Amino acid sequence: MENLIQYVNPCNKAFHAYLQDNNIIALISNLFEIESEARADSKNKRASLWFKFGRDDTLSTDIWDIEISLRNSNREFMIEQFESVTSLTGAELQVYYS
């Protein structure tokens, strides 16, 4: 498991953009693009990005989880997660590749 602090800012930007325009296609596309960059920089070519929304987050949320949540009943929870990591006083996003 690699903690990818260099991808925190791009992921935060993608989440913030989604909060502004609600464009799920653009969000998922941006996240997969970031994942592709991580894959190019890693020896493990079959891993994927996953996220922790704050220190107390016990979930391991990947890109597919985000898409499914935003399209279903967990949408509000996922939006709250995005808001928490994109606010100035919010939780710290952690990005992993494994």
Is residue 68 situated within a structural domain? Answer: yes
Is residue 65 situated within a structural domain? Answer: yes
**Is residue 4 predicted with pLDDT exceeding 90?**
no
The pLDDT of residue 59: 86
Contacts of 46 (CB under 8 A, 6+ apart): none
- Report how many domains make up the chain: 1
Per-residue pLDDT tens over the stretch 16-34: 999 999 999 999 999 999 9
Is residue 21 situated within a structural domain? Answer: no
Is residue 35 situated within a structural domain? Answer: yes
CA neighbours within 13 Å on the CB side: how many for 16?
Answer: 12
- Can you give the residue range of the structural domain that contains 43? 2-8+29-97
CA angle 70, 73, 79 (to 5 degrees): 45
Is residue 17 situated within a structural domain? Answer: no
Is residue 71 situated within a structural domain? Answer: yes
Predicted TM-score (pTM) of this structure: 0.92
